[in-house]
Each structure stands twice: as structure tokens, then as C-alpha cells.
Amino acid sequence: MPGRHLEFAVLSSIEDVQAALTAHRYVSDRELATSLFLSLQLAKPLLVEGEAGVGKTEIAKVMACVLEAELIRLQGYEGIDVTAAVYEWDYSRQIMAIRLAEASPGGSTPDLFGPEFLIKRPLLQALEGGDARPVVLLIDELDRADDEFDAFLLEVLSDFQVTIPEIGTIRARKPPLVIITSNRTRELHDALRRRCLYAWIDYPSFSKELAILALRAPEVMERLREHVVSFVQELRSLDIYKVPGISETIDWARSLTALAQQELDVEAVEATLGVLLKNREDMERVQPLVGELIARSGRAS
């Protein structure tokens, strides 16, 4: 489909995209805003990779708000297949239709593989939607799915269509904005990557994370925000299993505020480490270093 684009006229420039994200409390750099703008202009899916907790999934949620679109989410998981992602047949309704036809004098069995017996899953819902309002399709954590599942997506990602053997090819009248996320727990197929634009999101810099926290948790005092972000930045430099993401930073700042903390101290940090760290080994690694981390973060902020 040469020259196609997604008809979201509200975003006519990279600056529009970046401003719209900020207005919906998502701090974006120009590179990500450019990728989103080109995804809209070229009607190509956007593959977003990065560590867990850096805001990949949130992009789709925010874009759905910006575009006043319906958000349709397909969660990747081990064992997902076409029946969970695209469609399946409603066997109970088919059997009921057969029995009703047999019970009716002169009754004829309906087409058991017609649209009325089709259960539409997220990919098909996204392709058939878009008439009343735009659609944002989020394929979240695709790396959690099996390698073979990538092949199911190729037709959707290249032509915005799916083929159902019993019915034929179903094409999107108004293609959705497709955002795919991956934490890189496995390598995605090259054929899938070639069909997408690409963006990488890293852990934010101090200034960017501070801006995010100010937008997401404005109730937190400015001095505490600075100390929290500096502490988390120091924490990420340690050799720990699960590095805290942006969402943990926000939750921790709110937790400290709920406990009426105006600054960091050893007692408060140790009591709330479970907001930042999610396994025992990391807790045992960090607890002896809390005092040192507070001192380092105080100097940095």
C-alpha cells in the first residue's frame, strides 16, 4: 500500500506528538516522538524495546488517550496461538445451530463457518475496528511468546490483514496504530523486525526521571523528589537482579510522602525497600548499603 498513512490529523508534526505526550504526563525525547510520528505517517508498526519498567507499555496507553482511540491489547505469553490472538470458532453455538436445524421440520443447517459463529480475538478486533473511533493495537511483551508466534503476526504487520481459511482474507478498512513491546528476553525474528519501525527506551537520565516524577507525582515535595531520583539512579548502578523501573520510582516517592517523610533516612528507606526491590536477594544485597547510598544520592542531588 504505497503512500498509505494513518488518519490521525491531530498530530501533524513531531512537535505535536511530543507536546501531546507531555500533556498526558508522558515525558518523551525527540527520538521517540519522531518514531511515533513516522509510524502514523507511514502506517508501519512501531517496535519498542527496553528494560522492564521504562515506560514501553505506557506509550500505547497514552497514545490511545491522545488520539481518543480504542486501546486493544494482546498480551504475549508462552503458548499463545492463533485461537487466542486472532480468532476461533464458537463450537457450542455451532452444535446448538445443528440441533435446532435437526429439530425443525424441513430446517436446514446454517453455514457453520459464517461470521456469526466467529469469536474475534484482539488482532481481528483491531483490524475490524476503527470506524467509530481510531484503534491503537498494543502487542505487549511479544518476547514472552514462543518464536513461532512471530510468524502469525507477519501478515497483520505488513498488510493489516488476516486470512481465515473458511472465510477468506479480512483487511483493515482503517489500519490501527500498532505498538509492539519487548523486554528482549528472546530475540524477535528478523522478518518481524523488518516490518516495523524501531525505538529503544533506556532508563532515564536524572533530569528526565525528575521531570517524569514531577508530572506523575506532583504531591511529592521537590527536595524529596530530587533525593528519591538520585537514590534510585545510584541503586541502578549496583549489581542487582531486578533493577527498579520508573514506576517503582513513582510508587516509592508516593509511599514516602504517605509516610510524611520529607527526606531520606536509613529507617524510612529500609522500611520501604519492598516498593523498589522485588526479590529477597536484591533486598539482602542493598540493605547493608542503604546508608552509603543515601549519602551518595544526597551529594548527587
Cell matching residue 277:
526491590
What is the tally of structural domains in the chain? 3
Nearest to 187 by CA among 284, 19, 4, 47: 47
Considering 169, 201, 233, which residue would you say is the last residue of a domain?
A: 201
pLDDT digits (tens, 9 = 90+) for 264-300: 999 999 999 999 999 999 999 999 999 999 998 876 5
pLDDT digits (tens, 9 = 90+) for 71-81: 999 999 999 98
Q: What is the pTM of this model?
A: 0.88
CB 4 within 8 A of CB 176: no
Q: How confident is the model at residue 6 (pLDDT cuts 50, 70, 90)?
A: low
Cell matching residue 64:
490511545
Q: Do 31 and 159 share a structural domain?
A: yes
Q: Considering only 54-58, 126-130, 241-245, 274-278, which range has the smallest mean pLDDT?
A: 126-130
Nearest to 24 by CA among 74, 68, 73, 71: 68
In the predicted model, what is the mean pLDDT of the chain?
A: 91
Residue 2 has pLDDT above 80, yes or no: no
CB 212 within 8 A of CB 28: no
Cα–Cα dist 82/154, whole Å:
12
Question: What's the pLDDT at 7?
Answer: 53
Flag whether 110 is in a domain.
yes
The CATH number covering residue 63 comes to: 3.40.50.300
Q: Do 73 and 179 share a structural domain?
A: yes
Considering 201, 225, 259, which residue would you say is the last residue of a domain?
A: 201
Flag whether 3 is in a domain.
no
Residue scoring higher pLDDT (129 or 36): 36
Eight-state DSSP code of residue 38: H
Q: At residue 224, what are phi and psi to the nearest 5 degrees?
A: -65, -40
Q: Do 218 and 289 share a structural domain?
A: yes
Structural domain containing residue 245: 206-300
Q: Do 196 and 141 share a structural domain?
A: yes
Q: Do 163 and 25 share a structural domain?
A: yes
Considering 201, 222, 253, which residue would you say is the last residue of a domain?
A: 201
Taking the CA atoms of 255, 258, 264 and 267 in sequence, report the sign of the dihedral they define. negative
Flag whether 1 is in a domain.
no
Q: Do 239 and 196 share a structural domain?
A: no
pLDDT digits (tens, 9 = 90+) for 64-117: 999 999 999 999 999 998 889 999 988 888 888 888 877 777 666 777 887 888
Taking the CA atoms of 256, 262, 264 and 268 in sequence, report the sign of the dihedral they define. negative
Cell 537482579 found at: 241
Q: Do 294 and 163 share a structural domain?
A: no
Flag whether 8 is in a domain.
no
Q: Do 295 and 153 share a structural domain?
A: no
Flag whether 274 is in a domain.
yes
Flag whether 23 is in a domain.
yes
pLDDT digits (tens, 9 = 90+) for 8-54: 556 889 999 999 999 999 999 999 999 999 999 999 999 999 998 89
Q: Residue-wise over 170-186: b if at least 16 C-beta within 10 A, else e?
A: bebeebbbbbbbbbeee
Q: Do 291 and 188 share a structural domain?
A: no
Cell matching residue 98:
445443528
Q: Do 165 and 141 share a structural domain?
A: yes
Cα–Cα dist 93/254, whole Å:
50
Q: Do 194 and 146 share a structural domain?
A: yes
Flag whether 262 is in a domain.
yes
Residue 5 has pLDDT above 60, yes or no: no
Question: What's the pLDDT at 1?
Answer: 43
Q: Do 219 and 252 share a structural domain?
A: yes
